[in-house]
Structure 1
Amino acid sequence: MYEAVILYVLAATEILKEGKNITNGTAVTHKMWNRTFEGMTGNVSINSNGDRDADYALMDMNPKTGIFEIVAMYYGATKQFVDIDGKEIHWPGGRQGPPPDTPPCGFDGSECPETPRYAIFTGILTGLLIVLTILSLFIYRHYKFEAEIASMSWRIKQEEVVINPSFKRHFGSKMSFTKFSGSNSLSCGSLTLGDQSRQIFTKTAYYKSTLVAIKPVNKSKIEINRQFLLEIKKMKSLQHHHIARFIGACVDSPIPFLITEYCPKGSLLDILENDQIALDWMFRYSLTHDIIKGMAYLHGSEVRCHGNLKSSNCVVDSRFVLKITDFGLHSLRVYEENVDSYDYWRRKLWTAPELLRMPNQFNEGTQKGDVYAFAIIAHEIVAREGPFYLGIPDVSPKEIVENVKHGQKPPFRPYLEEEVCNKEIEEMIQRCWAEDPTERPDFQALKSVIRKLNKDNESGNILDNLLSRMEQYANNLETLVEERTADYLEEKRKAEDLLYQLLPRSVASQLIHGESVTAEAFDTVTIYFSDIVGFTELSAESTPMQVVDLLNDLYTCFDSIIENFDVYKVETIGDAYMVVSGLPVRNGTFHAREIARMSIALRNTVMSFTIRHRTNEQLKLRIGIHTGQ
């Protein structure tokens, strides 16, 4: 209805611009033909007959799962039939293609002469041979499948995994792993841009000289049954550019653990929470596109869905390619269920409302639930304010989860500012976290949406995309180095200024340049020493802060005056003020003159000086001078 109204408005507008009568239905109709415009569901194309060139999805039932899957797309505007990668049509009877439009002998058999008996006999034998061949192939595949399961190639011995000794205590005293080349093989850390080779974001180890990520299983013993073996085989068969590779599992350890591909840049959550990493919109679209491609592959595989998708389960490798991890094997991914803990409720921030309302926890999740989790992650990428940012402080994860679960109207969702992202991204996120799961698009449909926003990052231009990502990372490093250098220079200047205030400039300069300071003797100098008359009685009758204000005002005034003379202030102790002339820079016989003139200036200043808390009282200064050679 929306697109029909838009089409009519476009045609009627042209009629009015041409000065024609809008009530002429024929003229308006002809203006609707041969037209293409952007509608709610994408491009809308009307051909010369007034028919819409619609897009169609060809769906085929997967015989293994009994579920219909999209295997091809027909685009009406371009008249193209495009196969979906990794999908095939299961034709009846084991055919490799569609049947002919017309049977070879026609629909009634009139196109073929009567078949001789020997041909019938030959056909029967051929059919039996084909059936036997298919049956043999089926049996072979069955035994091959069972042999692969029984081989347990995923099983890794604990001796093959090299773990840092500092973490052996987490795996029990029975672990007899050795240290790998003196390096830290298993550790945890945060993002450190200065030294890429030491970036460790999760527990790691070395397996066959390759750094891998390990995830301890919160179970003392793993039951290896057929269901478990089938899940493991599904995990091992996944091979995709945006899926973290599952390597195997060690089930012989006191605390079993899974081994997966290690991505040195950390999780998406690590990157988004690091303010030192600048992410332009091309970079953000690229990360979002990687998630969509990885999840589209995962949903089309035997695993079917993730069930625990969140930003901490999206990891980034050394080439800034995002990969999905921590999927499958849900029976092993068990958390400590402390319903009063912060972590328990925080883990549910990415859970769809329909799953929160289930009485029993559904670990496997659903595909529509994964789309909802993707919307929360996409909002994290856009806002960079953490998961489920609401724009208001002091909202606990438990309150957020309860509000989402109760299904408010409008639905309780993160705060999405219109000026932060463009309209397409905002609409995509809102569709993905819709309250009704049937209104959420699938990841195949999201591919076309993000592809329009990320035209410069097509999969056919991987090298340019990689170079662009590495250039962005290098720019981040340069900016960080500049900021750190500026901070260092500022702190260095402050330290030097403080040193110049404490020591003579010549002595301070020698210390700054790392030179040794040699003691000197000055034969001809004049020393000035003064104190406040009656300071003891004045202090006894004043508060500590009043005394501090008095001395601060007085000596700030003195310091500004002595700058006009060739003198050096030695120190101030209490109400005592000590100044010398003739050092550290010798001035011949002028030292006495400089001190005398300075003393007169200070005395004149004291005559007009006002004490804050005793404005009617005159301050008196006692001055002493000693000069000699």
Structure 2
Amino acid sequence: MITIGLQAPWNISYPFSLLRMGSAMQIAMDKINSNPALSGNFTFDFVYMDTDCNAKISLRSFIEQVMEKNISALFGPPCPEEAEVTGLIASTWNIPMFGYVSQTPKMDNLLVYDTYIKVVPPIKRVGEILVKTLEYFGWKYVGMIGGGADTNTWDSVDALWKSVEQQLRAKVTVTAGIKFDTSDLELLQRNLQIISKVSRVVVVLANAEDSTALMLEALKLGLMNGEYVFLLVQQFEVSAKVDNLWKSSVTETNQTMLKAFDMVFVVAQKSYEGYDYYDFFDQAYERLKEAPFYSNLSSVKEVSSYAAYLHDAVLLYAMGLKEAFKSGKDIRHGREILQKLRDRTSIRFYGASGLVHFDEYGERNLDYSVYDLQQTEKIIKFVSVLDFDSHSKMIKPTSRFSNVVWLNGKVPSDNPICGFNNELCEWLDNEISLLVLLVALPLFGVAAVILITLLTLQKIRLQTRLDESNWWLIDYSDITILREPKGTQTLSVSTTPSKCGSGGSQSMLSSNSYSTKDAIYTTVGLFQGNEVGIKYLKNQILIDIKKPSIIAEFNMLREIKHENLVQFFGVCIDPPNICMVMQYCKKGSLRDVLGNSEIDLDWMFKLSFAYDIVNGMEYLHKSSLKSHGNLKPSTCLVDSRLQIKLSGFGLWEFKNGTKHRLIPLENPKYEEMYWTAPEFLREIYYPFNGTQKGDVYSFAIIMRELMYNTEVGPYHDVHLEPKEICDERLIPLIKACWSENPDDRPPFTNIRRQLRNACPESHTNILDNMVNKLEKYANHLEEVVDERTCQLMVEKNRADKLLSSMYIADQLMSGKSVEPRSYDMVTIFFSDIVGFTSMCSISSAFEVVTLLNDLYSLFDEIIKLYDVYKVETIGDAYMVASGLPISNGNLHAEEISTMALHFLSAIKRFKIRHLPNEKLALRIGINSGPVVAGVVGNTMPRYCLFGDTVNTASRMESNSLPLKIHISQSTADILLKTGKFEMEERGEIEMKAKPAMLMNLWHIFVLDGSQCPMGKGTQKTFWLTGKSGYTFPPTGLECDSSPKSGTDSILSKQEKTKGISTTEGDRRAIQRPPAMAKSPEMHTLTVPDI
């Protein structure tokens, strides 16, 4: 059984009488004893004593409570004199003592009263919020009035008065200070008249009843005319009882009371959404009517506000007792229990008086609000219009601030234009003064011109120096707004296979691969010729912009210049355009890139992004800022060169008014904490700029997002080994970066070195990589051009001869226009070189050009023997048609087929100059059907073919095999009629917009090997194997050489890549679609639990 003692006067005239608040102890006891989580399996009871605010009685009562009742803690006494005496004995006997009313400054001395703790907030908070409120409205002159009656008052207004007056005089001019007995109405009227002559803004320090009476007298004196403002301080009133101010009078109507509060703001505790304050006071009122108090209060309004503090003090003691017991401490040891209570990380809860939480000084952190009487949903009540954060010392407007009604349509001035007694304008009524003025004006004008000239010159000199010191200050009118944010555009990236380190792919960019539209994620403007991004700061109250710590932050950002950090230009402080001006990055942020499912980032992109982040963070850690503190994908911006630039660092005090981030208990934004180090999440608040070890943890989470930006992983359909995808050295690196122990996380210098070892090309910018390669190719091609300049005339003659042999060229050269023409039946030929990409990777540009020139010269000699038309060549692709531009009846299919067989015969004897042991293998496709042909363009005219026949021929080639001729059904039908060609049925393949046909030999298998039948869009196809009794004449350009092992190796690689078996006994082709390919085994990273 734990017994606690309560001391308070029984006399109901005291606002902290037992008859007004004693039931709060009972309510708290019921909660504790019914909830083991609060009581810690202890049973609580209490005893109370009537001390009548007498120090001797309080001391005697305390000794009796300890000796006879064996109490373990004391709550009270409420009066200052008795609290000071009893507190000394409590400290001597090591008994915890809880103050729920007393405000004596002596007891703030923790060296003397080391077992004493206050549940009420410190009185200095009132002065702080008053100063911030006056600064917010721009008032510099203020008067003070207040006091108390003999009995119906606070415990003492002297300490509060001295604290408020001292803080106000340090910031503003206090024109008057009148403290008096509020029970004397005549004195009250006289004092109001006096203060109205010297002050327009009046701070009222009185309790609720006296404050209401004072406002009614002010209304009678005509002070509620819109020229005066009254700030009523209700220090201990919880938000639920603020409305009692205008409802407390029984002699005045509601209409009169509303007029009396027209120009009144009330300073009281902040209200917290979700907590029912009214329910507590209703319970306290009902319990006061019962034993042992049997109070005769007439309404719940008469319940003391101190009841809420008494209730919370009891709950606080129970929690501290439980924490001490859990830690193995002596529960009778008062200092041990108070040490637990002052630990700001152990106890934090919402009580009847609001949030119960203590700061590092052992004082209760309780926020305040400025209330205004407004009508909301047909209910007239006080609503919060300004909120004061006691931790950051910042005051910010609420959503109801715009509803404040000023009787004169504007905020009242704190000082009249002509003074309170017209003393500033009296000289205008004096004729002599007017005459002197008229005489003095010309002289004054001449002197003014001279003075202005001198001041202008001085101003120019001073302005030059001022501009240098205020380099960060930007006039908003100097910024030209270009675009407003309208959402993010779609980005896309295309890649082609390559290698980075041990594996991966290299990005290839074109005009269509990355959207040309910028990602407009913020307001974009033009400042001093630079395209800048503008970040507006909402509800930012700029009070002391030239504070040394803020100026130091500006100067630090001025010194920071790095290619991977955004450039800081300055800030605008002209309301409402309070904003920061930074370098604008056109491609959005890394979060946009990772969140876009249409973007497929390859390994080179990811490592390049990671290396950019590491470079920026390494520079930032070596700079005067020391750390970032907000590293996440949304602060990693992407510029037009696809380079990461870090943002979101520095200027914490300018942006937030404080250097520490407070994790809110209500509606915390968890999605903003994914990248926060675990050591910070365990704190209630932590520095905005974080630590270097915390930045390393954030980088590890970003690196994990880069590697696995999809649920199944980015490499589930890539036929590569895990070590070819991701270097195995990156896995322990990332795990070390997100280590639970900050000391185990490596610095960014080591991270950069390990990244370079894992992928040597990652440290180079993506575009720089491409530019370097293009420069090498350009230099080499210049040498090729120089070598072939001597052959220019010879090649020109050959070109003219070739053009003269072309029918279309003849028409163009003669100046005739070539009209588009439709052909009912032609045959199209496509071919490409198998393994050409792999061959290019091991060959120089000159060798590739030589190879293609030798090969196409061979083909050009062959097509001279047939009635065919060479359409074009693109890279290793070769396109030929027959039956156009001059029709040849039904010979087109036979001509193309014979030519294709001739190509295969010639390619087997073709010899590569720089790879004599390797053999080329062609893949050929043929189709017959209708086309439309015509010349496109004027500067470089091209004879182009259009129609589905061309697409089908290309599909025949892409589905063919090395050294095979793949023909369509339409071509096979024509060749069958001739009876000259040998063909084998291959089966059916998928075709766009083709009707389903019978499939004999072609199947598609899913990953598990089950057979899946073909649906619509298939066509029967054939292999062209030969022509009866036909021998191909040599061209003179082929090189006889027997096939080497290199040919077999190339064919083997290509067949393995396509997954096709071509044995003589079984000519089936088994193909697994890329989207259904089996994923290689991959290393998996898992974010550690926090």
Tell me if TM exceeds 0.5: no
Higher strand fraction (1 or 2): 2
Please, what TM-score do these two structures have when normalized by structure 1? 0.40
Greater Rg, structure 1 or structure 2?
A: 2
Please, what TM-score do these two structures have when normalized by structure 2? 0.24
